Amino acid sequence: MAETPDALVLDLVEWIAREPRPYAEVLEVWRTSCPRLTIWEDAVDRGYVARRPSVEGMRVTVTESGETFLRAHGRMQ
């Protein structure tokens, strides 16, 4: 069970790596009311994703650390 949050963080980072996402979309899709599943917060705290301003509004992008995380798990080349 301890691996589930890390697997979900990996899924989140991979989803964002496909294309930067609007901040509101990320929160809508990945926010949870369960205090044990803090996937969005974990990804931000670990430095895998970051909010960045753009002309369309706030976007969420994968950081270099996030790309390294994906490569380490075979999700990015």
Mean pLDDT of successive 10-residue stretches along the chain, which has 77 residues: 73 95 90 76 95 92 97 88
Neighbours of 33 (CB within 10 A): 5
Domain holding 37, by residue range, is 3-72
Is 42 part of a structural domain of the chain?
yes
Is 47 part of a structural domain of the chain?
yes
Pair 60, 51: CB distance under 8 Å: yes
Query: What is the three-class DSSP state of 32?
Result: coil
Is 77 part of a structural domain of the chain?
no
Residue 4: its pLDDT value, please? 64
- pTM value is 0.86
Backbone angles phi, psi at 48, to 5 degrees: -80, -30
Strand pairing class (21-22; 49-54): unpaired
Residue 32: its pLDDT value, please? 73
Tally of structural domains, the chain: 1
| CATH number of the domain bearing residue 23 | 1.10.10.10
CA–CA separation, 72 and 18 (whole Å): 17
